[in-house]
Amino acid sequence: MRLAVLKERRADEARVAATPETAKKLIAMGCQVAVESGAGLSAGYPDAAYAEAGAELAPDAGAALAGAAIVLKVRAPLAAGEGTLDELALIPRGALVIGTMGADKDAAGRYAAAGVDAAAMEMLPRITRAQSMDVLSSQANLAGYRAVVEAAGAFDRAFPMLMTAAGTIPAANVLVMGAGVAGLQAIATARRLGGRVSATDVRPAAKEEIKSLGASFVGYEDEESKAAQTSGGYAKAMSPEFLAKQAEVVAGAIAKMDIVVCTALVQGRRAPTLVTEAMVASMKPGSVIVDIASDAGGNCALTQPGEKVVTPNGVVILGYRNWPARIPAAASSLYTRNLLTFLTTFWDKDSSKPVLPAEDELVRGVMLTRGGQVVHPNFVAG
């Protein structure tokens, strides 16, 4: 069974869908692994390391994909008109493509038309059994870490209190907005660096987690926030009235903040705007806002997705996209293990191929298309 790993071609992508370590394990499972030359370079994995692991190096995407039954990707394959190469057209019909597939109705339609079986790992149910394959968690965790490290780099003062013979530098005040996987890691990282950390969220469970990490909770609570968590563990979209009350509390705190890390997301919607232009105007020059919600529009009203901006009052806003790709070696290492675990979970040793039972909860959650048909319940027409 031939398995292809492509070089990721999207502009802000530096991760890779197999490392030499996972390639070796896939080969041990009976796969013939073909890696497009240069695929791992931006994540720190040279061609030679894949060759040493026993993989075949292919000179280009077409050569890697020829005859492939499984394709591993970080991001959705480029389709016609999306870039310099129509990757989707090169994938053999019938192949299983596993990655973060940009799961929406249009994408599902494209995969069905291309005749590929698309497994969208970002749709994996967040249940205990799926934890070791949960790409959203593994990547968000590193994004939260990286956000704080980049904030520290952009900050013109220090995170820890520094007592020196020449005087004392006070500790940085850090506010983390949204305490999910990324936010909790941001809290832990900012505390390790010596910042004075507070955080806000709307889910009651998040308040307890914030406190258990030693940060203080800043937020507004009422009957609506008591019911703010969906059965899937996500935050609900809050009412304009709630958001106005929350903004009042945040506005009181934010003027004293040196660093604001924005991570708040609401599944399937634009990220909530939690930091207004007036709040930014109240902050001190040299303060830093890192908005890792920028891929979903951002939590700060002045975030320009993909850009670093400095406001007239000297606040630095880092609105870069795709934060996991800013720490590509570690992100690839975890992402590729997530994919490997998914494959091994459904691997049939006798036939040396994956068997994906349609009735399995994880399979039902991730499969967008099968046999040229859209099968995901979210996108089936009608």
Q: Indicate whether 212 belongs to the interface with ligand NAD (CB under 6 A).
A: no
What are the Cα distances from residue 345, in Å, to 206, 337, 360?
Answer: 31, 12, 11
Of residues 9, 126, 157, 191, which has the active-site annotation? 126
Touching ligand NAD, residues 179-198 (CB under 6 A): 179-183
Minimum CB separation of residue 120 from ligand NAD in Å reads: 15
Binding residue for ligand NAD, selected from 152, 202, 257, 362, defined by CB under 6 A? 202
Q: Indicate whether 91 belongs to the interface with ligand NAD (CB under 6 A).
A: no
Segment contacting ligand NAD (CB under 6 A): 22-30, 111-119, 178-186, 324-332? 178-186
Query: Catalytic annotation on 360?
Result: no
Q: Which two tokens stand for residue 371?
A: 């046999």
Q: Indicate whether 148 belongs to the interface with ligand NAD (CB under 6 A).
A: no
What is the maximum alpha-carbon separation in the chain?
A: 72
Helices (H), the chain: 20-28, 47-53, 61-65, 87-90, 105-114, 135-154, 181-192, 204-212, 223-226, 240-254, 277-281, 328-345, 361-366
Query: Catalytic annotation on 137?
Result: yes
Place of tokens 């070791």: 132
**x/- map, 244-283, ligand NAD, by CB under 6 A:** -------------------xxxxx----x-x---------
Q: Please give the angle made by the CA atoms of 44, 120 and 297, to the nearest 5 degrees.
A: 80
Query: Catalytic annotation on 126?
Result: yes
Rounded CA separation 36/82 (Å): 20
Binding residue for ligand NAD, selected from 118, 235, 343, 375, defined by CB under 6 A? 235
Of residues 111, 117, 134, 138, which has the active-site annotation? 134
Binding residue for ligand NAD, selected from 124, 140, 213, 300, defined by CB under 6 A? 140
For the chain, give percent helix, strand, coil, nearest 5.
Answer: 35, 20, 45
Q: Which C-beta is closer to ligand NAD: that of 96 or that of 218?
A: 218
Interacting residues of 311 by C-beta distance below 8 A, sequence separation 6+: 280, 281, 302, 317
Rounded CA separation 300/251 (Å): 13
Q: Indicate whether 346 belongs to the interface with ligand NAD (CB under 6 A).
A: no
Q: Which C-beta is closer to ligand NAD: that of 20 or that of 272?
A: 272
Residues that bind ligand NAD (CB under 6 A): 126, 128, 131, 134, 136-137, 140, 177-183, 200-203, 206, 233-235, 238, 263-267, 272, 274
Return the active site residues. 126, 131, 134, 137, 234
